[in-house]
Each structure stands twice: as structure tokens, then as C-alpha cells.
Amino acid sequence: MKKHRIALIPGDGIGAEVVPAARRVLDAVTARHGIALAYDSFDWSCERYVAEGAMMPPDGLDRIRAHDAILLGAVGYPGVPDHVSLWGLLIPIRRAFRQYVNLRPIRVFDGVPSPLREARPGDVDFVVVRENVEGEYSEIGGRLNRGFPEEMAVQEAVFTRAGVTRVLDYAFELAARRGGKVTSATKSNGIVHTMPFWDELVTERAAAFPQVAWDQEHIDALAAKFVLDPARFDVVVASNLFGDILSDLAAAIAGSIGIAPAANLNPEREFPSMFEPVHGSAPDIAGLGIANPLGAIWSAAMMLDHLGHAEAAKDVTDAIAAVLAKTDVRTPDLSGTATTAELTDKLLELL
Ligand code: NAI
Ligand code: MG
């Protein structure tokens, strides 16, 4: 049996609390399925930045390039500007390893009330496919006339045919596998160059998947429909910025950001993909041992799936659903009193 090499980057704050919980679940499920994982841990974090002036060492990317996957907690800490932690670690990993798909599944679970009255368990089950390496989050631009009244900043959005096509193909293939449909997020009424180009490519790629139904919505209307009728969505594909915002909105619809998982995928598997909960380092609760581990655990399940272990992944997501549906063990973000360890223990009992 092939041994998968996993790079663990717990990061800051509750990242260092939820990654060990995910690791316990991985240990249990891989033992049962005869899957071999070998771990290397890296202390890359804001704490390291404060001590050594960099989030990761200069050869950091090379140290994890040969791993099969990366499991990350979260980075960010008060005192270190967020653009330092993001551009010093997460974004270099996403870009150097061509993780051009950011995949975020959204489910309303039985036992976790959604803030939306109409969002019922079972009905709301969709994925946001976010373009993850270009678009609005580009390094092209600059500042001019600093300190003068005419001070200015320019930030260019970059949409390439290759970059848009590959993320659309991923979304259409995913919808075909799920037997579902694609909704494309656009804003071609207001953004007159890049978004009409995006729409043209959607039409072009849709023609290659005649079995998959699709539609498109302007991002503003789409945000409203997420709230009014979340059950109508299956695969939502969006540019970097639109996908970023929509996926946090979607995580909120599902009841808690502590449950939401994400995968940064290099679908060609030329480089490792990275799995991380959607939440950040939560400095307000860090160190208290009460962080919800389910987002990290679900992310670990997505990692198993990516590594070719769909059954083991399903065991984990079934255990997440079971602990929420059948028990009242909850961390405080879900209005309970359980600790991270207690919720993980209960999930392991049900696994
Ligand atoms: P956050 O997600 O860390 O926290 C937002 C709120 O949700 C807080 O009240 C927190 O206590 C709660 N929360 C988050 N995850 C939770 C969990 N697992 N269990 C229980 N409650 C949870 O977002 P915030 O406060 O905007 O950012 C804090 C730091 O994290 C910043 O430095 C930010 O840059 C960083 N961050 C890092 C991310 C990453 O590494 N991918 C993603 C988002 C933020
Ligand atoms: Mg975000």
C-alpha cells in the first residue's frame, strides 16, 4: 500500500487546536481502512514571523513540494498584518502549486439550525468552486503620488483564457459527477471587460458538457438568492473575489463558520493540494480549548477523498453528520458547552 506523505501546518491560534483533532480522526479512519499516512509538521506561522521575520523559510515551498497533500489549520495573529500572513504563506502555496480550484462544500446538517428559516437539512447541499490563482487578487498594480492630494492606487484584475477555462471545466465535470447543474457568478453588466469574457468562456465550456444544465446570475442578485433560496444551488462557479465572498456567505447559511471546510486543489496532481478549514485563527477563543474541530475534520476528509480514499472520506463526513444529528455534544459556537476534545471524542465513538 502506497504511503501518502502529508505536510501538517497547524499555523496560529486555534489552527494549532483543530489540526491535532483532525489528526486523531485521520489516525482512526486510516487504521480501519488500511491507509498509510506519514506526517511532517511545520511550525510556519505568525509566531515564526515575529521571531524570525518570515512566515516560512526561504526554501519553504521546496520542503513541501514532494508531499502528497498539505493540511493547514489557520494563520493570522493580532500584531502581524493580515496581508503579511496571507501573502507570506497561503497565497505563495496556492500559486506555486497551481491550486487553481478552491472548493467549498456547503451543507445544512440535521441538528445545526441555519440562521435562515427556509434552509432545511438535506435541501441545502452545494459547492462553491472559486478560481484561486488569478482574477481580482493579482499582484499587478501599484501606488503613485504617495503623500500628495493626488495619491492613487491601481489594482488590475487578470482573467486568462487558460485560467478561466480550467476552473470552468472543473466545475462542469463536478456537476456532471453530482448529476447537478452549474451556476456561474458574473457581473457583466457593470464590469465591462473581464466579466463578458468570463461569460463567453462559460458559454463555450458549457457546450462541451451538453448533459449539464447551467445558468448565470449577477453577483448581487446571486447573493440575495443564496439567502432567499439556498436549496436551488448545486455547483456555483465564481472568480476569486466573488467566490471568496460567496463562500463565506454560504458558510454562514450552514450555521457556523467552524464547520466549513475548503480544499485548494491542483486537479492535475503535479503539485500537492492543500486542505484547510474556512475559518481563521480565532484569536478571541485561542487557547481556551473550545474551538469547533469539525471544519478541520471535514477538510481532512476532503484530503482523503483527493488521495483516492472516497470510502474513508465518507465515513468521516457520516460521523460529522451523526454527531450533529444524534448527540447534543456541541462546542460553544453551536450553543453548546463541549470542548474541542470532547466533541472529537464523541465523533470518534460514532466513526
Ligand atoms: P476567524 O474565522 O478567525 O473568526 C471569526 C469568528 O468566528 C470569531 O468570533 C471566532 O471565535 C469564530 N470562529 C472561527 N472559527 C471557529 C471555530 N472553529 N470554532 C469556534 N468559533 C470559531 O476570522 P477573523 O476573526 O476575521 O480572523 C482572525 C485571524 O485569522 C486574522 O488574522 C485573519 O487574517 C486570519 N484568517 C486566516 C484564514 C486562513 O488561515 N485561511 C482565514 C480567515 C482569517
Ligand atoms: Mg474568505
Tell whether 125 and 194 lie within a shared domain: yes
Residue 55 in domain: yes
Question: Terminus-to-terminus CA distance in the chain, angstroms?
Answer: 23
CA distances from 25 to 51, 90, 197, 244, 307 (A): 32, 24, 44, 28, 16
- Give the number of whichever ligand sits closest to the CA of residue 262: 1
Same domain, 131 and 223: yes
**AA identity, residue 192:** V
Q: How many C-beta atoms lie closer than 10 Å to residue 240's C-beta?
A: 22
| CA dist., res. 351 & res. 343, Å (int) | 12
* Residue type present at position 85: S
Domain boundary among 209, 227, 254: 254
Query: Chain-centre distance of CA 267, in angstroms?
Result: 15
Q: Which domain holds residue 238?
A: 114-254
Q: Within 13 Å, how many C-alpha atoms sit on residue 92's CB side?
A: 18
Q: What 3-state DSSP class applies to 5?
A: strand
Are 131 and 225 in a shared domain?
yes
- Predicted confidence at residue 132, as pLDDT, reads 96
Is residue 74 within 6 Å of ligand 1 at its C-beta? yes
Ligand 1 site-directed mutation target among 281, 292, 331, most atoms within 8 Å of CB: 281
Ligand 1 atom 1, closest CA:
280
Q: What is the pLDDT of residue 1?
A: 65
Distances (CA, A) of 274 to 96, 113, 234, 249: 12, 29, 23, 22
| In-domain check, residue 288 | yes
- Number of domains, the chain: 2
Rg from Cα positions in the chain: 20
CA neighbor of 273 nearest in space, from 127, 19, 102? 102
Residue among 348, 350, 344 at smallest CA distance from 331: 344
Q: Domain holding 45: CATH number?
A: 3.40.718.10
Residue 285 near residue 18, CB atoms below 8 Å: no
Atom of ligand 1 nearest to the CA of 78: 32
DSSP string, 234-283: SEEEE-HHHHHHHHHHHHHHTT-TTT-EEEEE-TT-SS-EEEEESS---T
- Clarify whether residues 119 and 248 are in a common domain: yes
3-state secondary structure (DSSP) of residue 297: helix
User: Does residue 165 lie within any of the structural domains?
Assistant: yes
Q: Which of 225, 254, 283 is the last residue of a domain?
A: 254
**Which residues belong to the active site?**
137, 187, 220, 244, 248
Over its length of 351 residues, how does the chain's per-residue pLDDT go in tens digits? 679 999 999 999 999 999 999 999 999 999 999 999 999 999 999 999 999 999 999 999 999 999 999 999 999 999 999 989 989 999 899 999 999 999 999 999 999 988 998 888 889 999 999 999 999 999 899 999 999 999 999 999 999 999 999 999 999 999 999 999 999 999 999 999 999 999 999 999 999 999 999 999 999 999 999 999 999 999 999 999 999 999 989 989 988 889 999 999 999 999 999 999 999 999 999 999 999 999 999 999 999 999 999 999 999 999 999 999 999 999 999 999 999 999 999 999 999
How many Å lie between the centroid of ligand 1 and the Cα of residue 79? 15
Which atom of ligand 1 sits closest to the CA of residue 277? 41
Query: Does the residue 86 lie in any domain?
Result: yes
Q: Same structural domain for residues 149 and 247? A: yes
* 238 plus 278 within the same structural domain: no
Give the span between the Cα atoms of 121 and 109, in whole angstroms: 5
Identify which ligand lies nearest to the alpha carbon of 44: 1
Query: Are residues 311 and 240 both part of a single domain?
Result: no
